[in-house]
Structure formats: C-alpha cells, structure tokens
A and B are shown apart, each in its own frame.
Chain A
C-alpha cells in the first residue's frame, strides 16, 4: 500500500458518500456506500480501507467509517 493509493481510496469513498447524501439519514447513506464498494471495489481495495479504518481512521468521515464497518472482507 502507498500513501497515494490510500489517499485515492479515501477520496473515492468520500466522493461516493457525497453523491449519495440525498439517499436519507447517515445510516442509510453508509449502507448505500457500503453496497457500492461491495459491487465495484476489488477485494484488495476493500482490505486496504478496512485495515486503515481499523488502525488509524484519520481523514475518514463518520459515514465513511460506518460504511467501512459494513464491509465483509478478511484482512
């Protein structure tokens, strides 16, 4: 993992969330974002973001953390 790769993943996730804020309350938006990651992100991308969120979640919004928590990946 590189900083650039991680930063891009964080940016992408926050962008997904920003474009789905209209979907409802933060819980629902987090579920929508998690579903998007589930459908479109590679396993390795999900592993990186989950690992990061578990270790040092700086720079992640509350909704992003909640979305990541819903991902079902082994790290």
Chain B
C-alpha cells in the first residue's frame, strides 16, 4: 500500500465503502441508525443523525475551511472559519458544532462568509511569523492551506504591535519541539492530550491574547506529565508542535502503511519517507487497532533501525573466545548447516532445535518451525511466548476451545465494567490503555487486581476504581473467591450456562467453587484483600451488563498461570460475558506477534493452527505438502532445551530474534546452557546478550526492511510492508529459507505472500487469508474461512470450537516460592512505557532519556526498615542469585512487595528470578521471587563478570565491524 503524498485528497482506492483514512472529515462519525437528508450548496447528502454540518459537507465532497476541527476530536467551535449560512437560521453558525437536521439547506460559500473567513485569517496571520519558505511545515501546513483557500492577500493590522513572535521554543523533548510563535491556540493539542491520549498533560494557560499552550504547570514538556505519545504533534495544524526529524530532514515525499513492531496492540503507521529514509512514523487513521493513535515507542523510537550497532554481515567463529570473522552469506550458511548436520550425525536427530521470534512476522515464524520439523526432523521448536503467554494457550483452549482472546480492542467501548488483572495497559499496551481510559471517562467501572497501584487507577475524570491489591502468587485464590460470590449470591447467568456450557463440567465446578474454603472470608488471609472488597468486585462484574476482563503477564507468569487463565474463563462463562461486544476474555499480548507466533505452530507440541503433532490426520496434511515425515512426539520447550544442553544431549540451537540470555529466568542457568552448546546460531539485528555466546551470527532485518504480517492481541492479521532494503541484503524469511536449502531441505518462496498461501492451505482458521484479501480489507481477524470469509471480530457468538464452554476446576495451590525470614520480600518484574522488553531496540533510541536504568521500587515502610533512601544502591538477593540496583521509593507498592524492570542487561533482573514455572506449560514464575534487600556500595559479582564478558565480546566483534566500516568508507570514495 504505497501512498504518494497528497494530504488533501478524498479519493480512496482500497475497499469500496471505506472512508479515506488520509482525509480529515472535521468531526467524528455519528453511530446513529436514523438518517437525515440535507443539501449542501445544493448537493444532496444523507447522513446519520448527529453528524455535524462540517462532516456532512465533507462527505458530499465540499471542503469547508477549518482549523480547530479534526475528526478524532470533539467539535470545539473556536476558530469560526467553518462558519456557514443555513436557510431559515440567523447568523453564521460554526458548521463543526451544528448538527444536521432534516431538510436543512446549507450554503458554504457567499461573499459574507468569504469576508468573515479572510478577516479571521488576517487576525491569525498578524501574529504569525511569515517564514513559510523556511518553516518545517512548508507544504504540509493547514494554516498555510487555509490562508490560500480563503484568499488572504493582505494583513491590514501590520506586524508591529504586541505579538508572540519571539516566544521561546521548548526543545526539551528529544523527538519534537514546541515553538509557541507558530501556535494559533486552536487547542487541538490540548484536546488530543485529553480526548485521545487521556493524559491531560496540556492546558491553555492565561486568557485572551495571553493564552498559551502549557505543558503541566508551566513546565517543559520533558518535565511535565506528557508521555510523548505524539497525539499533540499529530493534531497541530502548524509547525508549532513538530517532529525534530522533520525539522532536520524536511517533509517526506511518499509513505507506506505498515504495522508497528512494538507490543501486541499492533498499531498501523504510515512510514513517511524520503527515498529509503524514514522521516517520521505517523499513526494511520485507517488502522483498525489504533485508529490513528500511537505511543512514544511506535511513534518515535524507530532510530534503532539505522543504529551503528546493526549487524550488517554474516559472521562465524569456532569458539566464543575467538574473534568474529566476516564471511559471505553462502559461507555462513554452509558453516551453520555443516555444524548442524555433524552434530545430528554424532548425537542424534533430537540434539538440535530452534526458537522462533514473536518479534518476527507470521511467515518467518512459520518457516522456522517448518525448518525444525522438516529439515531438522524433530519438534524441538519453541518461542518466546513460552515465557509469557503459553498459559493463555493452554487455559483458553481447555475452557473455550481456542487459544486466543475473544474480542476486538474497540469492544472495550461497550464494556460497563472493566476488570484488569495483572496487566498495566497504560505502560505496556499504551494505545489500548488510552482507549480503555476513554471508556472509563464515559463512566465504565474499573476493577484492578494487581499488587501494584497501576496508572489506569489514576485515570483523570475516570471515576474511582476498585483496587484489589493482592499478595503476589495468590491470583487463583482471588479468582476462586470472586467465583464463590457469583455462585453463592445467585449472580450467575443461568440461561447462558444452560444453553452454552457443558453441564457436567459446570456441575463439577459449581460443587467445587461453592465450598466455603473458596469464600472471600476464607481466602482473605491468603490474598491480603479484605473480603468485602472481593464481594463488591464480584457484584460489580457480574451485574455489569457487559463485563470485560483484560489480563497480562501478571496472570500467566506464575506457577499456576494456566489455572488462573481457566479461572478467568470460568468467571466469564458463569456470568455470560462471552460471545458479544463489551465483554470477553482478553489476554494483552506482550510482543507484537506473540499471538501470531503461537498461531504459526511455534510450540513443540502443535503444528500451525494449534493442531497437535499426535493428531495423525493433521500431521498427514502437513506431510503431504512438506514432503517429509513429521515426528508425532512433542519436542523440547525452551527450559527443557536448557536442561538438556547442560546434560549434554542438546548440542545446537538456531535462535531467530529472541534474546534468551537476557529475557529468560535464572540467568546463571541460561548462560551455563548456552555455553554448553557446540553450535549456537543467532539471527538478530544486534549483538544481543545471546549472540555473545554464538558461533554463527546472521544479520536480521527490522520490520521496516521486510514484508509479512503480524497478528495482534485481538487476532488481527495486519500487513508489514517493506519501506527500505534489508541492511544485509536478506529479509529474515529469506535467511531461514537459505539455511533450509543449505541443509538439503528445499524451500522456494518468492514472496511472503506465497508462505501465507501455504499457511492458508494447512491451517483451518486461516483458509480465507491471503495478501489480496488483506489489501482489500485492510486487516483480518482470524478465524477467516468459509464460515467467516471476512474474519471474526467477536468469537464464540453462537458456539465454541469445542461445542460447549467447559468450566474447569481451579484448585488454589500456594507457590513453593514463599517469603521467609531470609528472603522476606516478594519481587515482581514488569515493563515501563518508554522501554520495550530487553530494550535492544529502545535503548538505542532517545527513549532512554525517560528510563536510563532499571530501578528497584519498594514501599516506604520497607525502605525505612532497611534505612534505604531514594537512589541508594541496593543488593537484591534471592535463593538463585544476587544483583544490585538503585532504589526508588514508591507508594504504588504494597509493603512486602518490590518491583523492577528488565530493560537493561547489566541490571541482572533475571539473575535473581528462579526457574519455577507454570505446572502445565513451564512458563516461568517471573512474578514471584522471594528476595532480601540491603544497602550496598558496589555492583554484584555477576554484574562485574557481565561487564568484563561484555567488554571481551565487544572486542571480539570490533575488528569485524571496523573492517566493514572501512570497506563502506572506501566504497564511498
């Protein structure tokens, strides 16, 4: 979908009925079913009741000038440029704030209106710098356009009077500047911050001529509450708020619509380009997941793609103590293939495996698991979803019959009660977090079940949420207590249960859950949550009308992660909150393609489409297309691979786009496993922590350098489109294909669309998916097949893939990881807004200005007990390791609970997390680690070792990188 830049056009080719996402219709669409007909300049148009005259005119192809209006904001009526004349009415009403009425006759162009508009523009321009030719918005400025449209020819007031032309620019934000001299005080930025983002960081300070946009209380943007989502920059009709990248490079000349590679929201963006240089990423209004909104990561943190640390050439070495040697692709792939073959010859077919990446595309993960199953000849394939949402797959498949969330993101706008469990949407899924906050401002009730007081509880104008601040590790006890209240107080939806659920499973569950030991009063001592609060939460959810549950890794990353997922499904089934908009069970996926990597058969027990390897019918279909025999036994999961590596039976691993050395728990154990391998092949964009243990380094490509698809948390398949050439010449899917060919298993695809065609043949939920259909529809939510040719926004509307919904008994078992006298605190880990997972991408951007190191958050009472002050160095010890971080004292913590992030490798957050895991899936128990904390004066032993190992590995890479840079410099000469 290549766009050539023409911001004013209403012509829109893809699809038939869709509006042009590149055009601003002035005000939002009305959802009314009642239609109203009016005439605009004699042109008849029929629109839904509640539509503004401004929008109706735009839909009729008549563009009324405007400056303060935008179709993602409420009508404001301040600039008055959109004034019109309406037959039978007096004066010149603003068309943005005037709704249509049946039979209305509107005139948009008269001599009086022209004069009025020119006068308004004259006033604006009298206090505006006349530097259009050197202005960064030149050619893409609404003020400039409107001046042209109204025919402004002179400014009678002169430019000598009082003005704002010398106002100081605020350049504090690394990505955009605020130049008040260009500001027309239209309030679009303020309204975007409020209505779209929901942060309320901006305001108009002063009155009349003294009115100015102010961040916080007259602070710099960087010091204010601004979260740098870019909504204000997007809304600004001049260059007052402007991306620094545009100021530096100039306006883009073409754009390509693609999908963000951060987080599971899967926002659509227009990569706005000059040649093959990305000038800026602009959230795409036509994106069904984000509707034109963005966060600081997707909007601004794309500079890592051209960072100097990028690996640009294949490299090999025999030992991790050898320097890297730059070689050709052929040489590297032959080296890797020979190693893999010789290891298999010596140690057996099952001695090697591969790990797919949830950051890579569907087509790439499909190829990696195919490589493992067809070329390696075993099922030793796994993915990073192992360490995040594997319990979602198990739990939802068991209860609802499908390993996926049930709703669209937009469904939250019909929720009456929103339950957030172990998720932090404003930080980890920020664009969805903003949508959730919008619904909360409209009056939906909020229940948060989390040890920490997360920011969604502090939603401005969002009402007071109910916070169940439970002790880490007691999720199942609380979900059982909620269910107990629903059952014992008669709050079940009996009609739904009778018609949609398996009766025997329900009766078994009901007998279990109604036992007194599951009551809020009985579990209060375990969870730490007052019984009355639990009862209140259960009543609010069950009697909500529409009750929606959103959950994250605070649910899954526990020893009972899978049990908790089933407990959540039980709640939704018991209250009938499944199968319609506004309700549902919604796992918030961590990385951009967690859903997709699971769908594509990355797990060792499942072929694409969650078809078990011991299902002979499914296996034979794959065998027929792939031309090989597929092993009918599951393969090793990631933690099992580590154990087998240390035991000496697992000798080689191919890792595409995952940094297991940093992200997986119990770092000592992971490092020991990686050091045990005879051959580690890492395909990545940087020398990440895992690559420091590798023997083959294959350059990866960023999302900007390849074609493919991502599937977001709402099962939405979105196109990823190449906007620049891959830095090392090959897209990731091409590298896997070449490795397979080097191994002797032929793969021949000319484009990822051909891989998708193969996926569609073999995966029942994807049979209707093709690149052509994606172009036509924009995106598709699977299942997409004969029954649902355009996809499935809401699942389980009529029945479940397993027929009836299955309640599951969810017995609470305390984790073995308990606070003791030696380790009296419980550590949980998580993410922060500005950084992304292991930080390999965001740490190489200015996002680090917000978060340059991982900190240990602890409650003031725990700090006082230990004599800890803000900023002190703290030694954190668990039963498996020790690391040192700086202290951040925080009221958002419960006493007895400490928290950190894992974005910086030197922090060693996972040195202290244990290898405890979920009973069903081996998903690590990141969220509960018993620790002790004390003030220290030096880094830990592991941190000192890490530093010296990192220095050594960087030195082994440096000559190869230097040779490359020299060669590049020579080629330029």
Known: A2-B647, A39-B605. A19 touches B919 (CB 8 A): yes
Which residues of B, 639-695, contact A by the 8 Å Cβ criterion? 639-640, 643-644, 646-649
Q: A33-50: which residues lie under 8 A (CB-CB) from chain B? A: 36, 38-45
Instruction: Chain A residues near B919: list those with CB within 8 A.
Output: 12, 15-16, 18-19
Q: What is the 8 Å Cβ interface bit string for chain B, positions 614-632, against chain A (1 contact, 0 not)?
A: 1000000000000000010
Please tell me if A4 contacts chain B, counting CB pairs below 8 Å: yes
Does B809 lie within 8 Å of A44, measured CB to CB?
A: no
A5 within 8 A of B: yes
B residues within 8 A CB of A16? 919-920
Q: Complex Cα distance A38/B646, Å?
A: 24
B922 within 8 A of partner (CB): yes
Question: B634 within 8 Å of A by Cβ?
Answer: yes
Q: Of A2, A8, A42, which is within 8 A of B379 by CB? A: A42
Given the complex, which residues of B lie within 8 Å of A36, measured CB to CB?
A: 920
Which chain A residues border B631 with CB–CB below 8 Å? 43
Do the beta carbons of B811 and A2 come within 8 Å of each other? no
State whether B922 touches A42 (Cβ < 8 A): no
Q: How far does the Cβ of B483 sit from chain A's closest Cβ, in whole Å? A: 14
Chain B residues lying within 8 Å of A41, measured Cβ to Cβ, are: 634
Contact bitstring B901-920, A, C-beta under 8 A = 1, else 0: 00000000000000101011
Residue of A nearest to B922 (CB): A12
Describe A's contact surface by its main secondary structure. helix
Verify A2–B646 contact, CB threshold 8 A: yes
Number of interface residues of A (CB under 8 A): 22
Q: Which residues of A contact B532 (CB under 8 A)?
A: none
The reply on B559 being an interface residue by CB < 8 A is yes
Most buried by A among B560, B640, B646: B640
Whether A40 pairs with B634 at a CB distance below 8 angstroms is yes
Chain A 29-66 near chain B by CB (<8 Å), digits 1 or 0: 00000001011111111000000000000000000000
A4 and B350 contact, CB distance less than 8 A: no
Known: A36-B920, A40-B634, A42-B350. A1 touches B811 (CB 8 A): no
Contact present for B813 and A19 (CB under 8 Å) = yes
B512 lies within 8 A of chain A by Cβ: yes
Q: Does B26 contact A (CB under 8 A)?
A: no
Q: What residues of chain A lie closer than 8 Å to B646, measured between beta carbons?
A: 2, 4-5
Between A8, A18, A38, A40, the greatest number of chain B beta carbons within 10 A of the residue's beta carbon is seen for A40
B191 to chain A, nearest CB (A): 51
Q: How far does the alpha carbon of A29 sit from the alpha carbon of B449 in the complex, in Å?
A: 32
CB of B706 within 8 Å of the partner chain: no
Residues of chain B with a CB closer than 8 A to A22's CB: 512, 809, 811
B635 is contacted by which of A1, A19, A42 (Cβ under 8 Å)?
A: A42
Q: Is A21 located at the chain interface by the 8 A CB criterion?
A: yes
B644 x A5 contact (CB < 8 A): yes
Which of A1, A39, A42 is the one whose CB lies under 8 Å from B636? Answer: A42
Give chain A residues whose Cβ lies under 8 Å from the Cβ of B604. 42
Kindly state whether residue B380 has any CB partner on chain A within 8 Å.
Answer: yes
Is B495 in the interface zone, CB < 8 Å from A?
A: no
Least CB distance, A29 to chain B, in whole angstroms: 12
How many whole Å from A49's CB to the nearest CB in chain B?
Answer: 12
**Residues of chain A with a CB closer than 8 A to B331's CB:** none
A72 CB to nearest B CB, Å? 10
State whether A19 and B560 are in contact (beta carbons under 8 Å apart), knowing that A39-B605, A39-B614, A42-B636 are contacts in the complex: yes
Report Cα–Cα, A22/B166, bound state, in Å.
75
Nearest-neighbour CB distance to chain A for B642, whole angstroms, equals 9
Q: Which residues of B contact A19 (CB under 8 A)?
A: 560, 563, 811, 813, 919-920
Is B633 among interface residues, defined by CB-CB distance under 8 A?
Answer: yes
- Nearest CB in chain B: distance from A47 CB, A: 10
From known contacts A40-B605, A42-B380, infer whether A21 and B634 are also in contact, taking CB-CB under 8 Å.
Answer: no
In-complex Cβ contact of A5 among B633, B647, B920 (8 A): B647
The closest CB in chain A to the CB of B808 belongs to A22
Q: Which residues of A contact B637 (CB under 8 A)?
A: 40, 42
Give the CA-CA distance A39 to B636 in the complex, in Å. Answer: 12
Say yes or no: is B612 at the interface (Cβ < 8 Å to chain A).
yes
Query: Which listed residue (A8, A21, A39) contacts B612, Cβ 8 A?
Result: A39
**A43 to B650 CA separation, bound complex (whole angstroms):** 13
Q: How far is the CA of A18 from the CA of B635 in the complex (A)?
A: 24
* A contact set with B: CB distance below 8 Å: 1-2, 4-5, 8, 12, 15-16, 18-19, 21-23, 36, 38-45
Minimum-distance CB pairs A-B, first 8: A2-B647, A5-B643, A15-B919, A43-B633, A19-B919, A5-B647, A42-B636, A22-B811
A and B contact pairs by CB, cutoff 8 A, 19 listed: A1-B647, A2-B646, A4-B646, A12-B919, A15-B559, A16-B919, A19-B811, A22-B811, A23-B809, A36-B920, A39-B612, A40-B605, A40-B634, A41-B634, A42-B350, A42-B635, A42-B636, A43-B631, A45-B640
